[in-house]
Structure 1
Amino acid sequence: MIKDPNTTWKIVGMIATLVIVLSLPIYHLKNRPSLSVSMGDNHEQAAEFTGSEACRDCHKTEYDKWSDSHHRWAMAPASENTVLGDFDNAEFTHFGQTSRFYRRDGNYFVHTQGVDGKPGDFQITHTFGWYPLQQYLVPFPGGRLQCLPIAWDVVKQRWYHLYPDTPLDPGDWLYWTNNGQNWNGMCAECHATDLKKGYDYRTDTYATTFSEISVGCEACHGPGSAHVAWARLPEMGRPAVENLALAVRTRDLTAGQQIDLCAPCHSRRMSMDDNIHRHADFLDYGLPQLLTEGLYYPDGQILDEVYVYGSFMQSKMYARDVRCSDCHDVHSIRRIKDGNDLCLQCHRAAIYDQKGHHFHKTKDEAGEPIRSASGAVLFEVGSGARCEACHMPGRHYMGIDYRPDHSFRLPRPDLTLRMGVPNACDRCHVDKKTAWSVDAMAKWYGQTRRPHYGEVLDAGRKRRPEAVNALASLAKDRLYPTIVRATALSELAGYGGDAALSELAAALSDEESMVRQTAVRRLPQGDPGQRLKLLSPMLYDPVRAVRIEAAAALAAIPKEELPPDTRRQFETALAEYLRAMERTADFAPSRHNLGNLYVSLGRLSDAEQHYLKAIAIDRQFYPAKVNLAMLYNGQGKNSEAERLLREVAADHPDFYEIKYSLGLLLAEKNQLDEAVVFLGDAAAGLPQRSRIQYNLGLLLQKIKRDDEAESALKRALGVEPDNPDYLYALAVFYMQRGRWDQARLMAERLQTARPEMTAAREMLTIIEKKGH
């Protein structure tokens, strides 16, 4: 078997399943009892979903705002009133494939590539979204609704492709008939009311239901039948009831409570449950993504489509109890004020809406648009005077949907020079160098450079040794945003070692559930006794995400070794974990997590099937391939393991950990020449991983490449000068070649580092005899 205590081959933990943007409907529409609401005199009434129309008569102002909102038109049955696209035999060609949009018998159709790339005609049953683009949904067997990749640009009145740069292979996860574009799992819960996903992982089918085919009133207020019944009573006859018999409290909330009410749909997260809007903690419902590479820039700016929550959590606004409704009308979702007036509710105009603050021309000043040398308009006069231009630079998603960054950050072109992150200055002044922006900022605001947590996270991503202490400090500093602290803790865990373990153990008692969950997930799988001691209390955590993560981490410990009370709580939390993973088992990460769990439980056949299903769902999901390779290796199926690792190494040439694992496997199979190639690549890519250098040195000795072997062993020793394995290996290396003085030096250093080891004394005795 492959052996290396320091390799991070096994990829464990809950991998948050993230959302693209799609949508779709399903045909089982019914009202379901959802909550019992007290109506006074100890009578309980089961609240049911009644639909937004039931709210209109009493709440006409709010209803009218909602009826013209993006929430109202989040999705709808395809009809004359809802379809915005051109279905008058319009054609659209993408990489030589022409799709045609047409109508027949009052219904909407598209002729396009379907399953396996074969052309066909598909009926469109629902619209998805409203502005600035609209997508369309097609029903498929198994209760699925799939989202077309060709969308309608509402502004320019044209069809366009969501993935314009390359044709998607029909086997790709993102191809429109596959899971990456499946409405039921990817988008339904945020585009319908009272969504019950209804996924059966055994049959891979959906029985998805909802009460309203839009984000209706009850999506936020909860089932309204009890409130409607109460409101229909004569005013003098209405009993005094809590929250006016509404299922969900939406007024008199703290800022945090209101934000958590919006967060399930306005965050990138993995959902552990259907959203009932009544969870005590956001992590009872979902796992928000941290500021991870590929999703966010190192300084926390938005990169991929992460929505708002993770950005807003980083802001001073969030820290100072600013809430969604301070800027957005909760029923229309529009801004409550236009332009800078929105910000000037709190920030004094005499200071901030002045040229002495922003140093840009205003719209009132005469002037032409700022142009490049070629004459192209770079930006309009006055745009630099807008608060959001500097403090909310956004990005376009889905081709044309512009989303401002809600972290409300200061422009930092100096960070661009150091880390390569974008900045608001360069975004407009595209004809200038970043150094010009840095100089301008220094001239206006002074030379003082504020430290930024992004510099620490960037160093952590790159595994720079000097970042360890800074990450530890950041992770426990409660003056920083919780999501930043949790991210720092996660990056610190990647270093391993006692320092990381100490900080992770301390974080288990943090008051923030996101930090505790990160600590549980990233705690190394070391001594079982230590793990049991640290994680047993976490099984009782009040927040679901924490306790189920603890159950998964303890699954490898035999149940008979758990105290009776702990065992009962473990089984309860493990059942919760299974429900969460099975609910989302239409995603590769959840199948992968189930595979990991069943490996821990010793159910290897079940583990294999879940890993294989993860790969079938998304052939690019490499963690499942890696862990399946490890499973096969443990079973002696090294050819299958080698095939999987080669696939990952070929697809991801910069994944040096995988090359390391493949090199070790090839060495085990006695394919030494190839093993050296992969170990060499891994050693070059991870120069601070001393164990890789050490194993490379040993392997090079075997194939008689002594000079290179000595260099590799010296590199390992350079990283860990007192490591007894490396000192011993070099001493033996020199003894075998009769280089006695160098052997003596290594043996003496070994004796100093580990005086209790007899090997050093024995080597010194041999050296004295042989060397003189």
Structure 2
Amino acid sequence: MLSILQNPFSRFLPWVVVASIITGCDSPTEPPAAKPRISEETSSPIYPRQERGTGVNGVAFVPTESCAECHEPQFREWVGSHHDWAMKVATESTVKGNFNNTTYAVHGITTRFFRDNEKFMVETEGPSGEPEIFEIGYTFGVEPLQQYLIAFPKGRLQSFNVAWDTKKEQWFTLYPDEKVPYDDPIHWTGRYQSWNVMCAECHSTNLRNQYDFQTDTFKTVWDEINVSCQACHGPGENHIDWARNINPGQVYEQEEYQLTVNFKESPQAQVDQCARCHSRRHSISIEDDHSGTFLDHYVPETLRSDLYHVDGQIKEEVYVYGSFVQSKMYHAGVSCMDCHNPHTLKPWLPDNALCTSCHSLDPPISRFASLKPKEYDTPDHHHHQVATEAASCVNCHMPERMYMEVDGRRDHSLRIPRPELTVDIGTPNACNQCHEEETPEWALAAVETWYGPRTPTSQTQYARAIAAADKGELGSQQTLLALAQDLDLPSIYRATAVERIEPNNEAALAAVRNLTRDADPLVRLHAVRVSSNLMEPETIESFVALLTDPKRSVRFEAARSLADYPVEMIPDSAASSFESIVQEYAASLEAHGDMPGNRFNLGILRMSQGRGEEAIEAYRTALTMDPFLLPVRFNLAGILNMLGRNAEAEKVLREGIRRHPEEGELYYSLGLLMAESQRWADAAQFLGQAAQRVEGRPRIWYNYALALQQAGDLPGAEKAYQEGLRAIPDDTDLLYAVTVFYLQQGRVEEARIYAEPLVKQHPDNPEYQIMLERIRRQLSPQ
């Protein structure tokens, strides 16, 4: 039976935050904000402003100068750091770019940078696609590039896509490979280049976006414009009060300091503090007030194939955390501050001296018991000339990738180069990243000559398992399950393995459901997300138990998944906590409703609650924000169809085809919608387009042929059946349909040709047996 495909994609678009700006910071005294002359299209901007706020338990943030009164050495180290330069008001002393009436041309757009007295101006393509003049409001970062922010209406700051290369001292575009259309959300004037949405919370101290869900407006405030002391240490009011009332000469314990954040709690706690910004993650709390833990405020991305290579090496910009938690060093208790001065952000020691401060003949075994006394900075180990780039520890163990065209970032998974994985599964290796002219086989031979045959490790076993699963190899799902259950692996490996379990693998899903009781919260979270496909009473029990999980991220995931079940299936004892967490989850989505993905998730939640009109509104708003989001478009068309509003659904799908002319699923959904209305000629047209664009989907050919039959185009229907069977020769539905088609035409011999393989595939199906027997009787002589 033909019916509209409600949502051929995932029913849940995960929360996503994609940051695209470098980190940096400003001085403690903020210059007054200028009142710039804005283009006519962007009049009446609302500027961010300074407003003292509070954090956990109402503890207030204090001026940075208060910290400097006692901590002058640390303050001096911080001044001039990337945190200090994270964001500054654009002034003569902060702007590094050339605004001396210079031009930069790319993709047919000429941008002019000039001065208007004290103001820094840019003339470039605006939101209408026409040249306009804008004033630079703020600088963003300092090296190796500096970006510039421009004020727009509704409290937005937009990040301009032409940046200043501070090393080469020249302008360059962040999108050299293609021209971004002015109406695309990724255009510099679009939503995905909004400072408020993509960058703000990690470039200022105690930033509150104060987003208005109904008007899509920001009234952003901060305590400090840049990343100052309390961005990391938390609000300092109590500590300042304590410090001003201590008895001179008395020794105090750490817990008496009245610090909001205790960096001496554990190495992992230190890393979690840095991860608040130095990670690829999305926010789930309305504000990060420095309470709780990392997973109470954020959900980090797993090692997704679009972000990382299958072995966990960095691919896209992922901001360190997801790499570092894979490393042996992290699991041995190494923290960010073991290598980096937290105030200058620079390594404690230069070059190999940093690494050999631990990896030496006299290692600090008292802290890291697994260290072995050994000399590493020697040709006996690295087989290169000492004190050269080739002998640099980081070039082999932390290879660099370039982001934003000029910004090199090192992989913090701190791994041994594995050319054997390059040979077998195509992952990069540090050897060939230097020796580009050589083959991976050459690199492998050299490594085996120096160190002997390569032996498997947890990293290589993980890499091979993920590669096999991505290819759909036989047995790979069981291997993934084994990885997920291996308590010795890094939690991000285990969570990634869980995430890749196929949703139709019921046996594996039942085992994954058991992982909702795992000790690791990241594993629990993804176990909930994946096992929610297993709609059974046991699943409800597992999720209900997690409504009291200590981590907000896990509670949210459990409540979101339970919302898919009829409310009467939720035990009475859990009803109150379930409703409370769902409301908190919805409030979080609204607080972050500046991102279309959160509007989409809100629409899914409202739909599961039976609040269809609110779901439609959420989906429509998400599409207004980003008209290219296909899952939103499918969900909106689906719910409109369910409500009998097919004309609106048709309009949604046709607009999708206009924007995505090669997306076969759109044609398929529109074809099914036409069929539901018995517009058979239109249905056949769109189903035919879908069949040409989507591979391996016999149901599309089946529906296409049926639509042609209904439209009276029998030759076309026959051709569609034949083409479908050439593409998928053993599909049961196609074999059955074409058999019936030929019988209806009285072409019994041709019907037999397809009925026989159908019966061979399904020897126990009585319907197929009877049909073949009738065909044979018709063909046998009387």
What band does the TM-score fall into relative to the shorter chain? 0.7 to 0.9
- Asked whether the equivalents of residues 16 and 589 of structure 1 are also in contact (C-alpha less than 8 Å), the reply is yes
For residues 193 and 475 of structure 2, what CA distance do their matches in structure 1 show?
42
- 1:521 matched to 2:529? The reply is yes
* SS of the residue 1:116 aligns to: coil
* SS of the residue 1:443 aligns to: helix
When residues 297 and 234 of structure 1 are mapped into structure 2, their CA distance, relative to the original with a 3 A threshold, is closer
Find the counterpart in structure 1 of residue 437 from structure 2. 431
**Pairing of 1:379-390 with structure 2 (within 5 A):** 382-390=388-396
- 1:207 matched to 2:219? The reply is yes
- Asked whether the equivalents of residues 535 and 554 of structure 1 are also in contact (C-alpha less than 8 Å), the reply is yes
Between Structure 1 and Structure 2, how many residues are aligned? 733
* SS of the residue 1:21 aligns to: coil
For residues 294 and 646 of structure 1, what CA distance do their matches in structure 2 show?
29
- 1:610 matched to 2:618? The reply is yes
When residues 87 and 715 of structure 1 are mapped into structure 2, their CA distance, relative to the original with a 3 A threshold, is closer
Find the counterpart in structure 1 of residue 15 from structure 2. 15
For residues 380 and 657 of structure 2, what CA distance do their matches in structure 1 show?
54
Find the counterpart in structure 1 of residue 314 from structure 2. 302
**Pairing of 1:109-508 with structure 2 (within 5 A):** 109-236=121-248, 243-273=255-285, 276=288, 278-348=290-360, 350-363=374-387, 382-448=388-454, 450=456, 451-494=460-503, 496-508=504-516
**Pairing of 1:498-647 with structure 2 (within 5 A):** 498-525=506-533, 527=535, 529=537, 531-638=539-646, 640-641=648-649, 644-645=652-653
* SS of the residue 2:14 aligns to: coil
* SS of the residue 1:566 aligns to: helix
When residues 167 and 390 of structure 1 are mapped into structure 2, their CA distance, relative to the original with a 3 A threshold, is same
For residues 727 and 121 of structure 2, what CA distance do their matches in structure 1 show?
64
Please identify, of 653-662 and 602-611, the stretch whose mean Cα deviation from structure 2 is larger: 653-662
When residues 87 and 541 of structure 1 are mapped into structure 2, their CA distance, relative to the original with a 3 A threshold, is same
Q: CA deviation at 1:744?
A: 7.0
* SS of the residue 1:121 aligns to: strand
When residues 655 and 425 of structure 1 are mapped into structure 2, their CA distance, relative to the original with a 3 A threshold, is farther
Q: CA deviation at 1:766?
A: 5.6
Deviation string, structure 1 residues 558-613 (Cα, Å, up to 9, x no partner): 43443322221111111111122111111111111111112212222222222122
- TM-score for the superposition, normalised by structure 2: 0.85
Please identify, of 20-29 and 350-359, the stretch whose mean Cα deviation from structure 2 is larger: 20-29
Unpaired segments of 5 or more residues in structure 2? 26-32, 34-46, 362-373
Find the counterpart in structure 1 of residue 54 from structure 2. 33
For residues 592 and 199 of structure 1, what CA distance do their matches in structure 2 show?
17
For residues 694 and 646 of structure 1, what CA distance do their matches in structure 2 show?
22
For residues 279 and 453 of structure 1, what CA distance do their matches in structure 2 show?
34
For residues 225 and 262 of structure 1, what CA distance do their matches in structure 2 show?
21
For residues 692 and 505 of structure 2, what CA distance do their matches in structure 1 show?
24
* SS of the residue 2:618 aligns to: helix
Q: CA deviation at 1:280?
A: 3.0
- Asked whether the equivalents of residues 481 and 512 of structure 2 are also in contact (C-alpha less than 8 Å), the reply is no
For residues 647 and 165 of structure 2, what CA distance do their matches in structure 1 show?
50
When residues 666 and 310 of structure 1 are mapped into structure 2, their CA distance, relative to the original with a 3 A threshold, is farther
Q: CA deviation at 1:224?
A: 1.0
For residues 655 and 59 of structure 1, what CA distance do their matches in structure 2 show?
59
Find the counterpart in structure 2 of residue 377 from structure 1. none
Find the counterpart in structure 2 of residue 42 from structure 1. none
When residues 223 and 749 of structure 1 are mapped into structure 2, their CA distance, relative to the original with a 3 A threshold, is closer
For residues 394 and 236 of structure 1, what CA distance do their matches in structure 2 show?
49
For residues 206 and 297 of structure 2, what CA distance do their matches in structure 1 show?
14
Unpaired segments of 5 or more residues in structure 1? 37-45, 364-381
Please identify, of 158-167 and 691-700, the stretch whose mean Cα deviation from structure 2 is larger: 691-700
When residues 454 and 599 of structure 1 are mapped into structure 2, their CA distance, relative to the original with a 3 A threshold, is same
Find the counterpart in structure 2 of residue 379 from structure 1. none
- TM-score for the superposition, normalised by structure 1: 0.86
Please identify, of 312-321 and 571-580, the stretch whose mean Cα deviation from structure 2 is larger: 312-321
Please identify, of 193-202 and 644-653, the stretch whose mean Cα deviation from structure 2 is larger: 644-653
Q: CA deviation at 1:212?
A: 0.8
When residues 7 and 459 of structure 1 are mapped into structure 2, their CA distance, relative to the original with a 3 A threshold, is farther
Find the counterpart in structure 2 of residue 376 from structure 1. none
For residues 713 and 223 of structure 1, what CA distance do their matches in structure 2 show?
67
- Asked whether the equivalents of residues 397 and 403 of structure 1 are also in contact (C-alpha less than 8 Å), the reply is yes
Find the counterpart in structure 2 of residue 677 from structure 1. 688
Find the counterpart in structure 2 of residue 100 from structure 1. 112
- Asked whether the equivalents of residues 264 and 275 of structure 1 are also in contact (C-alpha less than 8 Å), the reply is no
Task: State the AA in 1 paired with 2:11.
Answer: I
Match for residue 82 of structure 2 among 66, 70, 80: 70
When residues 409 and 692 of structure 1 are mapped into structure 2, their CA distance, relative to the original with a 3 A threshold, is farther
When residues 743 and 156 of structure 1 are mapped into structure 2, their CA distance, relative to the original with a 3 A threshold, is closer
Q: CA deviation at 1:449?
A: 5.6
- Asked whether the equivalents of residues 132 and 400 of structure 1 are also in contact (C-alpha less than 8 Å), the reply is yes
Deviation string, structure 1 residues 7-47 (Cα, Å, up to 9, x no partner): 843431423222121799953322123344xxxxxxxxx53
Q: CA deviation at 1:71?
A: 0.8
For residues 153 and 745 of structure 1, what CA distance do their matches in structure 2 show?
66
When residues 81 and 591 of structure 1 are mapped into structure 2, their CA distance, relative to the original with a 3 A threshold, is same
Find the counterpart in structure 2 of residue 375 from structure 1. none
Task: State the AA in 1 paired with 2:583.
Answer: A
Q: CA deviation at 1:93?
A: 2.4
- Asked whether the equivalents of residues 137 and 147 of structure 1 are also in contact (C-alpha less than 8 Å), the reply is yes
- Asked whether the equivalents of residues 91 and 100 of structure 1 are also in contact (C-alpha less than 8 Å), the reply is yes
For residues 416 and 651 of structure 1, what CA distance do their matches in structure 2 show?
38
For residues 734 and 357 of structure 1, what CA distance do their matches in structure 2 show?
74
* SS of the residue 1:81 aligns to: coil
For residues 541 and 728 of structure 2, what CA distance do their matches in structure 1 show?
34
* SS of the residue 2:128 aligns to: helix
For residues 645 and 471 of structure 1, what CA distance do their matches in structure 2 show?
37
Please identify, of 50-59 and 690-699, the stretch whose mean Cα deviation from structure 2 is larger: 690-699
- Asked whether the equivalents of residues 14 and 549 of structure 1 are also in contact (C-alpha less than 8 Å), the reply is no
For residues 634 and 443 of structure 2, what CA distance do their matches in structure 1 show?
44
Please identify, of 442-451 and 10-19, the stretch whose mean Cα deviation from structure 2 is larger: 442-451
Task: State the AA in 2 paired with 1:582.
Answer: E
* SS of the residue 2:617 aligns to: helix
Please identify, of 88-97 and 314-323, the stretch whose mean Cα deviation from structure 2 is larger: 88-97
Q: CA deviation at 1:199?
A: 0.6
- Asked whether the equivalents of residues 591 and 610 of structure 1 are also in contact (C-alpha less than 8 Å), the reply is yes
Q: CA deviation at 1:148?
A: 1.5
For residues 60 and 657 of structure 1, what CA distance do their matches in structure 2 show?
62
Task: State the AA in 1 paired with 2:12.
Answer: V
For residues 88 and 613 of structure 1, what CA distance do their matches in structure 2 show?
42
For residues 761 and 6 of structure 2, what CA distance do their matches in structure 1 show?
23
For residues 103 and 311 of structure 2, what CA distance do their matches in structure 1 show?
43
